[in-house]
Structure 1
Amino acid sequence: MNILIYVYNGITMLDAIGPYEVLRNIDGAEVNFVAEKIGSITADSGFIDLNVKHTIDDYSEADILLIPGSTISFMKEMKNKNVLNWIKDIDKTTKWTTSVCTGSLILATTGLLRGLKATSHWKSIQLLTDYGVIPTKDRIVEQGKYLTAAGVSSGIDMALYLSYQLVGEKETRAIQLTIEYDPDPIFDSGNLSKADKATKHLAEKKLSKVAFKSLGLIGMMNHAKGILKMMK
Structure 2
Amino acid sequence: MAAPLRFGILMFPDLMQLDLAGPAEVFGAVPGAELHLIWKTLAPVTNSAGWGMVPTTTFADCPPLDVICVPGGRGQVALMDDDETLGFLRRQSAEARFTTSVCTGSLVLGAAGLLRGYRAACHWMSRDQLALLGAVPVAERVVRDRDRITGGGVTAGIDFGLAVVAELCGPETAKLVQLGLEYDPAPPFAAGSPEGAGPALVAEAEARARARQEQRLAATQAAAARLGG
* TM-score past 0.5 threshold: yes
Q: Is the contact between residue 107 and residue 220 of structure 2 (CA under 8 Å) also seen in structure 1? A: no
Q: By how many angstroms is 1:142 displaced? A: 0.5
Q: Tell me which of 41, 45, 54 is aligned to 1:37.
A: 41
| 1:146–1:202 CA distance, 2 compared to 1 (3 A) | same
Q: By how many angstroms is 1:204 displaced? A: 2.7
**What letter corresponds to residue 109 of structure 2 in structure 1?**
L
Q: Is the contact between residue 128 and residue 134 of structure 1 (CA under 8 Å) also seen in structure 2? A: yes
Aligned to 2:148: 146
State how many pairs are aligned. Answer: 217
Taking structure 1 as the reference length, the TM-score comes to 0.87
Q: Is the contact between residue 40 and residue 59 of structure 2 (CA under 8 Å) also seen in structure 1? A: yes
Distance 1:164 1:228 in 2: 32
Distance 1:81 1:228 in 2: 15
**What letter corresponds to residue 27 of structure 1 in structure 2?**
P
Q: By how many angstroms is 1:170 displaced? A: 1.9
Q: Is the contact between residue 129 and residue 217 of structure 2 (CA under 8 Å) also seen in structure 1? A: no
Q: Tell me which of 10, 13, 23 is aligned to 1:9.
A: 13
Aligned to 1:49: 52
Distance 1:108 1:205 in 2: 26
Q: Which runs of 4+ in 1 moved over 3 A?
A: 205-209
**Equivalent residues in 2 for 1:1-232, closer than 5 Å:** 1-46=5-50, 48-70=51-73, 72-207=74-209, 211=212, 223=215, 226=218
| 1:206–1:42 CA distance, 2 compared to 1 (3 A) | farther
Q: Secondary structure at the match of 1:115?
A: coil
Per-residue CA deviation, residues 152-210 of structure 1 (Å, 9 max, x unaligned), is 0001001001111111222211110111100000111111122212211332345458x
Q: By how many angstroms is 1:54 displaced? A: 1.4
Q: Secondary structure at the match of 1:166?
A: helix
| 1:133–1:228 CA distance, 2 compared to 1 (3 A) | closer
Distance 1:52 1:60 in 2: 14
Distance 1:90 1:197 in 2: 41
Structure 1 unaligned runs (5+)? 213-219
Structure 2 unaligned runs (5+)? 222-229
Per-residue CA deviation, residues 90-134 of structure 1 (Å, 9 max, x unaligned), is 111101111000000000111111011111001111111111111
Taking structure 2 as the reference length, the TM-score comes to 0.88
Distance 1:53 1:201 in 2: 40
